[in-house]
Amino acid sequence: MKRKHLLGLQDATREEIETWLETADAMREVLARPIKKTPALRGQSVCTLFFEPSTRTRASFEMAAKTMSADTSSLTVAASSVSKGETLKDTLLTLAAMGAKCFVIRHSSSGAPELAASYSGKFGFDFSVVNAGDGQHEHPTQGLLDMMTMREHKGQIEGLNVCIIGDLLHSRVARSNVFGLLTMGANLTLCGPHTLLPQEFSAMNVKMTTNADEAVEGADVVMTLRLQNERMNGAYLPSVREFARLYGINAQRLKRAKPDAILMHPGPINRGVEISDEVADGAQSVILNQVTNGVAVRMAVLYHLLGGNEGNE
Ligand code: CP
């Protein structure tokens, strides 16, 4: 794989996605071993820079890098010189000057990882950038771990009926999934209230509806998304209770999907809003499986970006 950065899935080819998913399957086998540590990234230095909160993404990137023996560092932005006005550029160059070879960046601003990547190869430092979620733009490793989970449970992505439901407007997870799943040949239905259903998707090969019962009908995969209040700057909904009633996934609504459908959620979940307790913890839920696959996917992505150390595998 020739890629230096992973900024999104919009430009990812089918071959690239298949390579990441196949490598992630191999990494999942590594993670199932009693001794998981591999020397694949020995001598490499990975730095996580999270300008927004995270539980799953940050922890799994750190576990992924450590499992492959990379040196890791983690910048707590609130306690860094960013709080004194240091720019993203100067923060990156400072850490690159200490030897960081890969930056995993989460930022509230769409495009921040792309800006970071533009500094690589300049000022005497060369590094890779992974987008760990930027504003409403993309969250490519979440898209990959979601596709890995679908493949694990359904065998293949091509021809799968996937329904994504909830706050699509503010969701970087939805955007990465839409790009990746269309490239892999899934049939997509996107559903939410008019105000949270971005019209940019209408130009793509997807079905869009505001009717949740219709959207879930016959689905192989139902993916729910939370209301992303942190990105809302106005009134998008009359009430959260109404959203829960019209768009929340509960046992009754899930019955409209195929009997063997899987239920997904990128997390964090808001129980009783976009998903009920009974289905979040039910037999069709693969939410914790998604979390487990997140470590394997992030190992695969770091491995390919940093070249791996084939002699050390
Ligand atoms: N899905 C996801 O990105 O979760 P975190 O915000 O906890 O990383």
**10-residue averages of pLDDT along the chain (313 residues):** 93 97 98 95 96 96 98 88 91 96 96 97 96 97 98 98 97 98 98 94 95 98 93 82 96 98 97 97 98 98 84 43
Cβ–Cβ < 8 Å for 52, 110: no
Look at ligand 1, atom 4, and give the residue with the nearest C-alpha. Answer: 56
DSSP β-bridge partners for residue 73: 47
81 and 121 co-located in one domain = yes
Q: Is residue 1 assigned to a domain?
A: no
Cβ–Cβ < 8 Å for 290, 139: no
Cα torsion at 119, 125, 130, 131 (round to 10°)? -20
The whole model's pTM is what? 0.96
Task: Report the pocket of ligand 1 as residue ranges, CB < 6 Å.
Answer: 54-57, 133, 139, 142, 266-268
Atom number of ligand 1 nearest to Cα 58: 8
Q: What's the structural domain count of the chain?
A: 2
Atom number of ligand 1 nearest to Cα 52: 6
74 and 207 co-located in one domain = no
246 and 149 co-located in one domain = yes
54 and 37 co-located in one domain = yes
148 and 88 co-located in one domain = no
299 and 250 co-located in one domain = no
Centre of ligand 1 to C-alpha 218, Å, is 28
Atom number of ligand 1 nearest to Cα 60: 8
Res 229: pLDDT: 83
CA 99, 104, 109: angle at the middle one, nearest 5? 125
Q: Is residue 6 assigned to a domain?
A: no
86 and 133 co-located in one domain = yes
Centre of ligand 1 to C-alpha 222, Å, is 18
Structural domain range at position 119 = 14-138+292-310
Centre of ligand 1 to C-alpha 53, Å, is 8
Q: Is residue 9 assigned to a domain?
A: no
Helix (H) or strand (E) segment spanning residue 160: none
Res 237: pLDDT: 82
130 and 99 co-located in one domain = yes
154 and 266 co-located in one domain = yes
CA 49, 50, 56: angle at the middle one, nearest 5? 115
In the DSSP assignment, the letter for residue 294 is: H
Measured distance CA(1)–CA(35) in Å, rounded: 27
Atom number of ligand 1 nearest to Cα 266: 1
Res 1: pLDDT: 75
Cis peptide before 238 (omega within 30 of 0): no
282 and 144 co-located in one domain = yes
57 and 151 co-located in one domain = no
Centre of ligand 1 to C-alpha 56, Å, is 5
108 and 241 co-located in one domain = no
171: domain CATH number is 3.40.50.1370
Res 309: pLDDT: 54
Which tokens hold the place of 206? Answer: 């997807």
